[in-house]
Amino acid sequence: MNTSTMTSQSAFDGSRLRVLLLVELHEGAQQRFLEAYEHMRGQVASVPGHLGDQLCQSVENPSQWLITSEWETAPPYLAWVNSEEHLETVKPMQQCVRDIRSTRYTVLRETGRAVPLGDRAGEQLQGTVRVGDGVIRHALTFTVKPGSESKVAEILAGYAPPRARVDDSTRLRRTTLFMHGNRVVRTVEVEGDLQSALRYVSRQPEVRAVEEALNPHLELSRDLTDPESARAFFIRAAMPAVHHVTRGGEEPAGLRRHALYYPAREGCGMALAKLLSQQDETAADDPASPVHRSTVFHRDDLVVRLIDTLDPETDPVRALGIHGTRKAAVLARLLDGAALGVAGPVASERDATRLLAHTEMALITDRTAAES
């Protein structure tokens, strides 16, 4: 494999993680914020994988604060930040906040602290420099009331897209929407700053009109005129990308975008996301694989895999993200077959074809920015 042309980014590389939260408070909320943080840090200290955190206040502007936290690896942080427990824990702090920006980094090198040289030394720091493609990938997911699926698909397919250029450094590249039953998944690709792009999109009249039209059909109600309600909804809807790989070399003609839906057994979502990520990493080195590009999104017990591929039915096993009978058996154990309407093991290509038919999400719209 030509590693100079392959793009691979993963939350499963075993690296230590540092999270930065830049917070701007409402005027006069400093003391309430500090008290809320004191309450929160006692709870987060017991979360598995959490190593420590710091709260810093700006020297120049007392309304600006910085929270840094360190985690053994990315998966325990993602499990915590996407949990209902986290949402309830940070609610008192959120009420003090005017604006918040979050960034996440794996630790590549450090000075001033000895790094353990034992068995876990290789897991502590990011081993190699990542080479990205300048694109940030993110997804949102939510459910709609049963019976409203066709109306929701009509709403999501019919709106005019916003202008792609957000500012001098940020552009929207691609937005793709899928549905599986009453589950909606919206994936976005952005050049530049993801949070700037999401805020820009949320302010566009055509997008706001779509969001308002969706409100009566949502299973989880929201009030977009209430900042706290809107923030809680989108926090619950966030589905971060935990792995992305693009095979090196020239992109083949005729690639099509698909999304595959993998409901996991209770408590198995992270393990399922890791399995698919590892299989996609291996497939990127296999010229026979039909998948040119893959992104794995994960939240709770739901995994969605976005693939750019030629006809997935030509090799359904690899299109599903598995190769070999043993891996297929592991996938079957992690999947909630009842949620897919499928029972029995995945032991043959026929079984994989059967399962692929149940995991395929319906494409609602796929929009690529013209100026990208």
Q: 90-111: per-residue pLDDT in tens?
A: 888 888 988 888 899 998 888 7
CA distance 194 to 175: 13
Q: Are 22 and 64 in contact (CB under 8 A)?
A: yes
Q: Residue 282's CB: how many other CB atoms inside 10 A?
A: 15
Q: What is the predicted pLDDT for the residue at 114? A: 55
**Residue 287, Cβ density class (10 Å: 0-12 exposed, 13-18 middle, ≥19 buried):** exposed
CA distance 331 to 336: 10
Quick one: tokens of 281? 């990493």
Long-range contacts of 325-329 (CB under 8 A, 24+ apart): 327/275, 327/279, 328/352
Q: What is the predicted pLDDT for the residue at 171? A: 92
Q: Where are the alpha helices (DSSP H) in the chain?
A: 30-44, 74-81, 84-94, 121-124, 149-158, 194-203, 205-214, 227-237, 269-283, 316-320, 325-334, 337-340, 349-359
Q: Are 10 and 52 in contact (CB under 8 A)?
A: no
Q: What is the predicted pLDDT for the residue at 32? A: 93
Q: What is the predicted pLDDT for the residue at 370? A: 57
Q: What is the predicted pLDDT for the residue at 360? A: 92
Q: What is the predicted pLDDT for the residue at 289? A: 83
CA distance 168 to 57: 30
User: What residues have CB less than 8 Å from 120, skipping those under 6 apart?
Assistant: none
What are residue 19's DSSP bridge partners?
69, 104
Q: Residue 67's CB: how many other CB atoms inside 10 A?
A: 19
Pairing, β 302-309 against β 256-263: antiparallel
Q: What is the predicted pLDDT for the residue at 65? A: 95
Q: Are 95 and 228 in contact (CB under 8 A)?
A: yes
Q: What is the predicted pLDDT for the residue at 152? A: 96
Residue 49's nearest CA partner among 20, 81, 22 is 81
Ranges under pLDDT 50 in the chain: 1-4, 117-123, 371-372
Q: What is the predicted pLDDT for the residue at 115? A: 52
Q: What is the predicted pLDDT for the residue at 118? A: 39
Q: Which residue's entry shows tokens 């994960």?
A: 298
Sign of CA dihedral 122, 125, 127, 133: positive
CA distance 357 to 346: 13
> In the chain, helix, strand, coil percent, each to 5?
35, 30, 35
Q: What is the predicted pLDDT for the residue at 302? A: 95
User: What residues have CB less than 8 Å from 109, skipping those under 6 apart?
Assistant: 125
Threshold 0.85, pTM exceeds: yes
